[in-house]
A and B are shown apart, each in its own frame.
Chain A
Amino acid sequence: MADQKNKAKQYQSFEDKRETKRPILLNCVKAFLVGGFICLIGQVITTFYIYYFDFTEQTAGNPTTATLIFITMILTGFGLYNRLGQFAGAGSAVPVTGFGNAVISAAMEHRTEGFILGVGTNMFKLAGPVIVYGVFAAFVIALIKTIFLQLGGL
């Protein structure tokens, strides 16, 4: 019993030692480089859509998002995106590709449970909160702003 407690204590101190060693600066540099690189690719795709498919700078974000998520599907399928995630942290999670990865990897992971109960049910398990609270916050903000504008403010 005492031995067990001792071990738990040892583990706790070991864990603490690991915890404090989190290289925040290095992680931030990695996130900056990978996140910046993904946005750079996004900019290349955006420019492509503006020049060849008559999108404007305001509307080209949409096909760019779709294209990036398509690329994410291939990378996730071959297990490459998760490996990138281990290296880049937020650098691969914050861009829209991270959102795509969350949806696609959840869908793939639960495929064995069937397409309805597995894929369909679990697809938004990870990405759900983003949509739910994004929509709710947008609703509140747009509502306030609309009422404000209709009352003749600004």
Chain B
Amino acid sequence: MVFFWAFVIGGLICVIGQIMFDVFKLSPAHTLTILVISGAILDGFGLYEPLIDFAGAGATVPITSFGNSLVHGALAEAEKHGLIGVVTGMFEVTSAGISAAIIFGVLGAILFKPKA
């Protein structure tokens, strides 16, 4: 069942993005930035975690989960170390996405020739 909801919720988040492209005529960069901030705000109210429990990858794969993970890491560290934890814990959970993007970005530049 989680496969079905992953498809539906993931698809719906993409539809929200498409509406921001087409109806509000936002650039991809604006759209993605707004989505990330939305994910962060949702997690601030504790609403993103239930969505992950419900939809699995449908909630973790869209870029909104990046905002969620940032807030999550920051809050987890803040619980242990107080306010400074907000800064030190920020990338705790998001490490995979950014590290992978950098590593495979450099690898991609080494391995592939850009298409004209």
Q: How far is the CB of B31 from chain A (nearest CB, A)?
A: 7
Chain A residues positioned under 8 Å from B96 (CB to CB): 61-63, 65-66
- Mostly, the A contact residues are helix
Q: How far is the CB of A59 from chain B (nearest CB, A)?
A: 9
Q: How far is the CA of A145 from the CA of B72 in the complex (A)?
A: 11
Total interface residues on A, CB under 8 Å, equals: 80
Q: Are B19 and A40 in contact (CB under 8 A)?
A: no
User: In residues 60-93 of chain A, which contact B (Cβ within 8 Å)?
Assistant: 61-66, 68-70, 72-73, 76-79, 89-91, 93
Q: How far is the CA of A96 from the CA of B83 in the complex (A)?
A: 29
Q: How far is the CA of A64 from the CA of B96 in the complex (A)?
A: 9
List A residues at the B interface (Cβ < 8 Å). Answer: 22, 24, 27-28, 30-40, 42-46, 57-58, 61-66, 68-70, 72-73, 76-79, 89-91, 93-100, 103-112, 115, 119, 123, 126-127, 129-131, 133-135, 137-139, 141-147, 150
